[in-house]
Amino acid sequence: MKFRNFPHSLAYVASLMCFAHLSANAQSVQDPHTTRLDDITITARSLENTGLLVPAQQLSGAALAQRLGSTLGETLDNLPGIANSSFGPNVGRPTIRGMDGDRIRLLQNSGANMDVSGLSFDHAVPMDPLTTERIEILRGPATLLYGGSAIGGVVNVIDNRIARERAFDAKGGVMGKAEVRAGGAANERSTGAMVETGTDKFAIHVDAFDRRTQNLKVPKNMSCKSGVNSVKLCNSASNTKGGAVGGTLLFDRGYLGLSTSEYKSTYGTVAEEYVTIGMVRRHHALEGKLRDVGDWFQDVKFQGGYTQYSHTEYTSNVAGTQFDNGGLDMRLEARQRSVALGNGLKLEGTIGLQRERNNLHAVGSEKFVPTSRTQSTALFTYQALKTPWGQWTAGARSESVSVQSLESIGPNNENAAQTKTFNPMSFALGVMRNLREGEMQNGWQLTSNITTSQRAPKDYELFAYGPHAATGAYEIGSSTMALEKATQLDLGGEWKNGLHKLGVTAFTSEFANFISLQSSGSYKTSAGAVGTSTDLPVYNFQGVRARLIGLESNAKLRMVGGQQALLSNDAQHGAVDLELRADMVRADDLTNGRPMPRIAPMRLGADALWSKNAWGARFGFMHAGAQNRMPYYSN
């Protein structure tokens, strides 16, 4: 399978966003006269206000509103080091530093997002950015808090369905926001709204969204099998809607909250003109935190989630293959009290336990994976040692994983029902050297992280056996697959001078057993018989040695407004910032001596951002070079 070249240039349309805040006798804990437009944070930042610094990127507020796409991958696309892995406009999963699929851990409020988007590239992620408050991208030692499989990083989508802090005083109040979007190449029509109410003792949250798109307009005439020729991408329309309700009891020493949400989507797969997918996901969450629990721990946090996911693939409106995935996710975290060690040293950290269980069931003619059950239990810790000159960080995670195939699969039951167990262990060490000085903390901040990770193979990597229509291949798993192992190193620096920032990071990832689809050179019919070159090529899941190296950089310069502005100090008409970014990844399959597939090309981009009070606008471009490093397969 080849990765199609990106267009040589992409343009963003300037977007104007206005948030409507409703209040009825509301007194927020923040100054009601203060307006703040959030930035894109690409630096060391706190994790849930614990004071533990981790390398991260964050989108929130106006920065998130101006980048909103119809999918999670589209929203994060073009951030330094992040690309969108997508079969058409309706399926978008983030790719980080050349890694995609289940190497990127997708979370919702730090809990597992159980879907089947990692199983196939035409399966969408059931998260809509319209109801999102903040998106965090984590790398380095902090990723071990959420899973050893997060070799490429963690994307944490955060909403406020369970309130984690007080928004109102004892008098109570109401606040909310609404958004309406229209236009674009897909003729999008979308609305989203959120309302919150409560007092200092309780909080209630309600949100809902509706998004509809038509077939995507493209700059060339497309030939569809139906005989219709037009400048639109065939079978790329979508209809998505959902909503959620949450309630939280707030105490002096913590909180306890519940939420329930539903996400529904019907969308065209693009890869097959007559195939659409009807998806529904229901998620129920329980979360609580207790502060000041003893001499050793500052707080203890519990999270539990139950997810029911199902999608049906329709061919010409006739129901075909159905995938059901459901399970439980539980986390218990205890944050240690800060301990002064003398000589300006201070130790703080988190320890925790995580338990996950999910069941995958598929039925239909295009079923290529068996019914399976995956269970995992993990112990993890993340520690930070603050020093007068910066900080050391360390993470460790030990897991016990069981992957069970509950039935045989294959035309002759080639992959029998069986259970595989794994015990992956991962470790990470990071250092931050702070060279900044003065009240404004201007100067350089240097970071470095080294991580050695192990990932247990997924159920489809072990047990798949059958035709996969989305990839146009006959995929065969390997039940003898060993742990995927990787060693990663990154070196970075960020320079700051007031409102001006410049950052650059170099990274490398070395894999001893990178699990990927490899061509066998043979062919099979969809029924599994020996085929010819007109049938499906056979691809086997195999482990290979692999190396990824890359570079990413970003800069933000104040051009207009303020004493440090490079062009004009006059802020009467608002402020203008210039953002610059660039990234590149080179990925090689060292075992077979060829490039790895689905790697984004070198990219260069710039954005001009204007803001004044509650208004903001963004105009920019992204230039993507040609991707000529594609693997060659004999079939």
Kindly report, residue by residue over 478-531, the tens digit of the pLDDT: 999 999 999 999 999 999 999 999 999 999 999 999 999 999 999 999 999 999
Q: Determine how many CB atoms are found less than 10 A away from the CB of residue 571.
A: 14
Residue scoring higher pLDDT (212 or 226):
212
- What is residue 344's predicted lDDT score, i.e. its pLDDT? 92
Mean of pLDDT values over 607-620:
91
Instruction: Give percent of the chain with pLDDT exceeding 70.
Output: 90
Domain that holds residue 608: 9-624
Mean of pLDDT values over 299-321:
93
Residue 28 lies in a domain: yes
Encoded tokens for 455: 């990932």
| Residue 345 pLDDT class (50, 70, 90 cuts) | very high
Residue scoring higher pLDDT (277 or 119):
277
What span, in angstroms and rounded, lies between the C-alpha atoms of 254 and 458? 37
| Residue 226 pLDDT class (50, 70, 90 cuts) | low
Lowest mean pLDDT among 3-17, 36-50, 104-118, 384-398: 3-17
Amino acid identity of 529?
A
Q: Is the pTM of this model over 0.85?
A: yes
CA distances from 283 to 112, 180, 573 (A): 10, 25, 45
Q: Determine how many CB atoms are found less than 10 A away from the CB of residue 183.
A: 10
pLDDT exceeds 70 at position 429: yes
pLDDT exceeds 60 at position 21: no
Residue 4 lies in a domain: no
Instruction: Give percent of the chain with pLDDT exceeding 90.
Output: 68
| Residue 155 near residue 147 (C-beta atoms within 8 A) | no
What span, in angstroms and rounded, lies between the C-alpha atoms of 578 and 555? 8
pLDDT exceeds 90 at position 451: yes
pLDDT exceeds 70 at position 151: yes
Residue with tokens 């900080």: 391
pLDDT exceeds 50 at position 22: no
Q: How far apart are the first and last CA of the chain?
A: 10
DSSP labels, 520-569: EEEEE-TTSSB--TTSEEEEEEEEEEEEEEEEEEEEEEEEESSTT-SSB-
pLDDT tens figures, 177-200? 999 999 888 999 999 999 999 999
Amino acid identity of 200?
D
Residue 128 lies in a domain: yes
pLDDT tens figures, 72-99? 999 999 899 999 987 788 988 999 999 9
Mean pLDDT score of the chain: 88
- What is residue 69's predicted lDDT score, i.e. its pLDDT? 87
pLDDT exceeds 90 at position 378: yes
pLDDT exceeds 80 at position 384: yes
- What is residue 631's predicted lDDT score, i.e. its pLDDT? 86
- What is residue 544's predicted lDDT score, i.e. its pLDDT? 97
Give me the helices (H) in 545-634, please.
none
- Sign for the CA dihedral angle at 558, 562, 567, 571 comes to positive
pLDDT exceeds 90 at position 9: no
pLDDT exceeds 90 at position 285: yes
DSSP labels, 152-190: SEEEEEE--SS--S--S-TT-EEEEEEEEEEETTTTEEE
| Residue 119 pLDDT class (50, 70, 90 cuts) | confident
- What is residue 256's predicted lDDT score, i.e. its pLDDT? 98
Residue 2 lies in a domain: no
Residue 497 lies in a domain: yes
- What is residue 633's predicted lDDT score, i.e. its pLDDT? 65
- What is residue 28's predicted lDDT score, i.e. its pLDDT? 38
- What is residue 454's predicted lDDT score, i.e. its pLDDT? 96
Amino acid identity of 166?
R
DSSP 140: G
Mean of pLDDT values over 597-602:
92
Residue 3 lies in a domain: no
Mean of pLDDT values over 464-487:
93
Residue 389 lies in a domain: yes
| Residue 62 pLDDT class (50, 70, 90 cuts) | confident
Count up the domains in the chain and report the number.
1
pLDDT exceeds 70 at position 386: yes
What CATH number is attached to the domain comprising 437? 2.40.170.20
The gap from C-alpha 276 to its chain's centroid, in whole angstroms, comes to 24
340-366 as b/e, with b when 16 or more CB fall inside 10 Å?
eeeeeebebbbbbebebbbbbbbeeeb
Residue 591 lies in a domain: yes
